Amino acid sequence: MKKTSVHPDPLAKNQRRAPLSAAQHRQTGAPVAQQENIRVQMARQFAFTRQQQVADSNTRISADTLVQRRVVAVTDLQALAPNLTIQPMKGTQSVNYHLRGVGFDDYYENNMSSVMVYLDDVAYPFSSMTDGMMFDIAGVDIAPGPTGFTHGMADTGGEVSLHTADPTPQWHGGITEDIASYARSRTTGYVSGPLSDTVSFRIAASTSHGGGWQYNPTNGEHLGDQDQTSIRAKLKWTPDDKTTVMIGGHWTTDKSELINGNPVLNLDPSWQKLPTYTSYRQTEWDIRPQFAKLIGRPDNLKPSEDNIFWGADVRFVRDLNFAKFQSVSAFETERQSEYSDEDGYDAATGDTYRNVDATAFSQEVKLLSREDRKLQWGVGMYYLRSQMHQQFFSDFTQYIGRGYMSNTYYDQNQQTFSQYVNVSYKLPFGIKLFGGLNHESDDRQIFNYHTIQYGHASYSFLPEGTLTNQLGGMLGIQKQIRSNLMMYFKISKGFKPGGFAANNTVRQEQLKPFKPESVLSYELGFKSDPIPGKLRLNGAAFYYDYHNQQQVESFLLPNYGMLGAYVNIPHSNIWGVEFNAEIHPFRHLYINQNLGYQRGTYSVFNALDTTRVNNYHSATGIYKAFYKDYSGEDMGSPKLTLSGSAAYRIQPIPKYEAELGLNWSYRDSQAMTPGGNGVYRLPPYFLLGSYASFGPTSKMWSVTVYATNLLNRQYSLTSSSDTTTYQHVPGEPRFVGGRFSFNM
C-alpha cells in the first residue's frame, strides 16, 4: 500500500506511449516482457499502478529510490517505510527487524526472526546473510503482518523481500563511483546481455572501503572503515516460450570495522568510572594480548568482522496452460568471525569474539492458477534445513565478578516444513473474496554445548530440543468502489516457532526452550488515486492480539549475575495506522510522504527489575532477584515514524535534465527495556538529506552531489549492555559525497 517511488520525467511527453528506449531499459533493468507494464506506469506518472488493486499494505520501493536515498545496507530501509525498525545488533553486521512492533532481538542468530528476509524468493534464516547484498537491486517489498500464505515460511511480523536485477536480452553495462567524507568510497558495476537466442546473463559487483568516523581520544586511532566486496551472477535460459530456468550465485567477503558503543550508564558502581568523551565521534576499545592469542588474532585487532558468505540457487518456471509451476532450490553458507568490544571502553570486562559456521538449504515448489480467471488459487510447499556451529569467546579478566576468559560452543540443527494454499474469487460489483491457510512444522535441536571458564570451571550440558506444529489462516474481502478507489478488510493469524537462548550458559535450565508466539491481526485499508497522476493516497489501520511474545530479558543466576534469556510474554496488544501520499502538485515537483503511528501495551507481563538487582548488589555484594509487574506498560516501539522526499526536475538545456531533492525521516523515542526511561530509552531524532544531479536525458551518464544527515544530528541507532556498562550505539554523522554513473 505505501509506495516510495521515483516518477519518470514529465517533460518527455512524446515518449510516454512509445516503446521503451534503450536508455530507459538500462535504467529499469527490466526484461522485455515487462516493458508494456512500465510504459503504463510512465503514462500515469505514479509507479506500481497494478498494485493499487491488491489488498495489502506493502511498502514497495523502486530501484531509483534506493539509489537516490543511498540505500547500501538493509538497515537503511527503516527510513523508507512506516513502523519499520531495522537495528544492528551491538553495532555488528547481525540485524534485528521489527515491523509494527513485532520483532525479535537475537544477537546469536540461532533463532528465527519475527520478520523474515527474502532475497529473490529465498528465505535467509540468519540475518547476517544479507551482508553485502544491497547492490544492483531492482526493488524491495516490505509486507507487514502474518505471512506465509502465498510463499515461503509462516511468520508473525511480516517480511522484507529484496529483488535483484535480472539478465537482459540486450547488451547493457554500467559503473558507478561514490566518494564521500572520511575517505569513504563505493564502486558498483554490472554487465548484462545475451549469450545466444535463448541464454542471457548478468554479472554485478560492489566494493566499499573507508568511512571510519569514530576515533579513540587516547591515541587518535580511527574505527569504522569498510572493507567489503561482493559479486553476483545470474544465467537465464528460455528454451521455449513456456519455460524459464535461472541459475544464480553470489559471494561476499567483509572485513569491515564495527561501530563501537558509547557507555551511558555504569551497571556496577563498584567498578571504575566510565570514560568522559568530549565528542560524539569518540569511543574506546582494547584487546588484551592473552585474549588475542586465545582467539588466534593479532594484538592490534579492532572491533571488526572477518566474514565470507556465498550461495547458489536454481529457479525453474513452466507454464502448464491451466497453471504455472515454479520451483526454487537454494544453498546458502555463512562463515563469520566477529570481534566486538561490548563494554564500550578499554577494559577487559566484556570483549567478545564469535565464530559462526552455518549452512541453509531450502526447496520450494508451488502451482499457481492462471491470472485471467475469476477463481484464482495457489498451492505450495517449502522446506528449510539449517545447520550451525557457533563458538564465542569472552574476556572478563578485569571484571571483579568473574575474572577469567571463557569459551562457549555448541551445534544446532533445524528443519522446517511448511505447506500453504490460497484462493480468491471475483464476485459481481467489484467484490473479491480471498483467503489462505498454512501449516508449519519446525524441529530444532541444540547439542554438544560446552562452556569453559579458563582457570575456573568447565561445564557440559545435555542436548535440548523443541518441536513446533502451527496452523495459520487468513480471510479477507475487498471492494473496488471506483476505478481509482479500493477498500479491503482482512483477518489473519500467524505463528513463529520457539527456540533456545545461547548465552554464557552455566546452568542446564538456561537452555530450556521458549514457546512459539502468535499474532491475530485485523486490518482495514484503502488505496486511492483521487486525482490520477496528481495525487495518490493510501492508508491502513491495524490491531494485533499478541500471545506469548518472545522477548529477550534478564535472567538472574545466584552467585554469578544477570544473563540474557528469552521469555514468553503471555499477552499484549498493538494498534496503529499507516498512510502514504504521493503528490505531483504542479509541473516539475514530486512529493512522497509516509506516516506510521503505533501503540503497543503489555497486558500480562512480569520481569526481573534489573535496576533494583544492580543497586542491591552494589550495596550488599549479593545478587537477589526483584521482579516488577509491567502490565499496562507501553511496549516501547517508536510511536511515530515519518519519512518522505521532494524532487524538482527540469531540463535546463535541451536533452539534459537536472534534479534537486530533499529527503527526511523522523523516529520517535524507543524504549529498549520494558518501561524504559532515561538511558534505557533512545531519544527521538530527525534526519535530513539532500542531493543535486545532472545528466543527459538518455541516462548515459549522470553526476550527483549529496549529503546525508545534513544537519549533523547526534542520534543513537540501538543500545546494548554487558557486565559493567550500558551503551548506546551511535548513528553516522554528516557525510558529503559525490557520485558519477556511466551506462551503456
Per-residue pLDDT tens over the stretch 50-75: 999 999 999 999 999 999 999 999 99
Residue % of the chain over a pLDDT of 70: 93
Stated pTM of the model:
0.90
What's the grid cell of residue 618? 552494589
Name residues whose C-beta falls within 8 Å of residue 20's C-beta, 6 or more positions apart in sequence: 28, 30, 35, 38, 39
Which helix (H) or strand (E) segment holds residue 634: the answer is none
Q: In 429-463, which ranges are E strands?
A: 431-453, 457-461
Per-residue pLDDT tens over the stretch 238-263: 999 999 999 999 999 999 999 999 88
Q: Is the pLDDT score of 3 beyond 80?
A: no
* Cα 286 from Cα 280, distance rounded (Å): 19
Q: In 211-350, which ranges are E strands?
A: 214-215, 222-223, 226-240, 243-254, 262-266, 304-305, 307-319, 323-341
Name residues whose C-beta falls within 8 Å of residue 454's C-beta, 6 or more positions apart in sequence: 294, 404, 405, 406, 407
What's the grid cell of residue 505? 550458559
Q: Which residue type sits at 606?
A: N
Residue % of the chain over a pLDDT of 90: 76
Q: Count how many domains the chain has.
A: 1
Residue with cell 570483549: 351
Per-residue pLDDT tens over the stretch 569-597: 999 999 999 999 999 999 999 999 999 99
CATH number of the domain where residue 707 is located:
2.40.170.20
* Torsion on CA atoms 114, 119, 122, 126, rounded to nearest 10: -50
Per-residue pLDDT tens over the stretch 81-93: 999 999 998 778 7
Q: Strand 84-88 relative to strand 656-667: parallel, antiparallel, unpaired?
A: unpaired
Per-residue pLDDT tens over the stretch 481-492: 999 999 999 999
462 closest CA partner among 427, 513, 414, 497: 513
Domain range for 241:
3-743
pLDDT for the residue numbered 22: 36
With cut-offs at 50, 70 and 90, classify the pLDDT of residue 523. Answer: very high
CB 165 within 8 A of CB 29: yes
* Cα 55 from Cα 529, distance rounded (Å): 15
691 closest CA partner among 677, 710, 678, 672: 710
With cut-offs at 50, 70 and 90, classify the pLDDT of residue 323. Answer: very high
Q: Which residue type sits at 741?
A: S
Average per-residue pLDDT for the chain: 90
Q: Is 321 helix (H, G, I), strand (E, B) or coil?
A: coil
Name residues whose C-beta falls within 8 Å of residue 123's C-beta, 6 or more positions apart in sequence: 116, 117, 152, 153, 362, 382, 384
Q: Is the pLDDT score of 316 beyond 60?
A: yes
